Amino acid sequence: MLAESVFHTDALARRDRFGSWRERFTDTLAPSEITSPRADDFWARQRLVHLEDAWLWPVSLCASRYRRTPRLIRQSDPELLHMTLVLPGSGAVHVDHNGHRSANAPFDLYFLDTSRPYDVRSDGDSPLVGVGVEIPRSRLQLPDAGALSGVLGRRLSGRRGFGALLSQFLVQLSDETSAYELSDAPRLNGVLLDLVAGLVSRELDAEAALPPETHTRNLVLTIRSFILRNFRDPRLTPQTVAAAHHLSTRHLHRLFQPEGVTVAALIRHRRLEQARRELADPALLGLPVQAIAARCGFTASAHFSRAFRGAYGDSPSEYRHAEQRGVSLSTVRGTASPRGTSAIPAG
C-alpha cells in the first residue's frame, strides 16, 4: 500500500480543531495566514499520500481562507508548485495569485507557487472539497521557471485535454490508494509529473520545448484514455486508434512496445474486464450473455466466449452462475484480471 497518513478533527476537542488544522496545513504546503468564519466550530478531513517526491492530499473542510504573504515567504519557502482539483460538493474557490483572479468550480484546476504571495478562500460558508498536489518546482520540466507565470492563479478546465486526464488520474488514485503497492510510487509519481507538465505546457503553448520522452509518455497516456472512453465501440481497432491520433499503425505499435502490451491486447483487456463486471452485476441478470458481449464491443459471441474462457478459465455463463451463487471465481483462482494482462495499468 502507498505511504499514507490521515488527519481529521472529529476526535479533537472543539477548541483544538482549528489550531490543529493550521499546523497540519503548514506542514503540508507552506506557512500561511489561515482564517475561518467557523473557527469555533471547525472541521477538516485530509489524507496525505506520498508518491516519491510529490504529495497528493484529498481534503474536505469547512469555509476558510489562506493568505501567503511576502513576510511568510521570507521566513520559509519550500519552493513548491501547488495544484488543486476542485471536486463536487465544494463551493466556489476564489484565487488571487500572480495578477490573476479566478473563481473555481468543481472539476476546475488552479496552480499556486509558494514563492509568490497568494490569497485563496472558499465561497461564503461553503465547504472546500478537492485534491491538493504538491510538486517540487524543480521537478517540472519546462523551458524556464518564469513560464509558470502564465498559469498561476488561472482557472483551468479539468474536463478536457490534459486537464481531463489529470483529473481522472487524481480521482482514481485518491479513491483507490489501497490498489497500489509502495513499489508503485515512483511510476505513479512519473505519471503525475508528466500530466502536470503536459497541462501546463499546453496552456502556455510551450509543448514543443518539452523533452521528447515526456511527449511520448503524454501521447501514450492520451491514447490509453481514448481507448478507455471508446472500448465499447466495435469499430475500435489499432488502425482506428492510430487514425484518431494522426499516427501510422506502425508508429502506434512502436509507442506501446516499452509498455509491454499491444494496443489490440489493451482494447481486449478493457472489453473483457467490463464484460466480467457486467456478468457479475445482479441488476443485469436478465440481460443475455450475447447482449453483454455486444455492449462491451464484441461483434461475435463465439469469439467473446473463447476470449473470456482464455482469460478467466470459464465460459461467460459459468462465470455468471458462479457469481450469482456468491462464489467469486477470481477469489478461487487468485486473480481478478485476464490472464496475461496483469502488467496493464489503469489508463
pLDDT tens track, the chain, 347 positions: 789 999 999 989 999 999 999 999 998 999 999 999 999 999 999 999 999 889 999 999 999 999 999 999 999 999 999 999 999 999 999 999 998 889 999 999 999 999 999 999 997 788 999 999 999 988 886 655 566 888 999 999 999 889 999 999 999 999 989 889 899 999 999 999 989 988 988 887 655 556 677 778 778 888 887 898 889 999 999 999 999 888 899 999 999 998 888 999 999 999 999 999 899 988 899 999 999 999 999 999 999 999 999 999 999 999 999 888 775 444 444 444 444 443 343 33
pLDDT at 125: 80
The CA distance from 333 to 312, in Å, is 9
CB atoms near residue 209 (< 10 Å) = 13
Asked if 130 and 171 touch (Cβ cutoff 8 Å), the reply is no
Closest CA to 128 of 81, 173, 82, 87: 87
N residues, the chain: 347
List phi, psi (to 5°) of 157: -80, 130
Name 73's bridge partners. Answer: none
User: Which residues are CB-contacts of 154 (< 8 A; sequence separation ≥ 6)?
Assistant: 100, 102, 110, 111, 203
Closest CA to 261 of 291, 296, 227, 232: 227
pLDDT at 323: 85
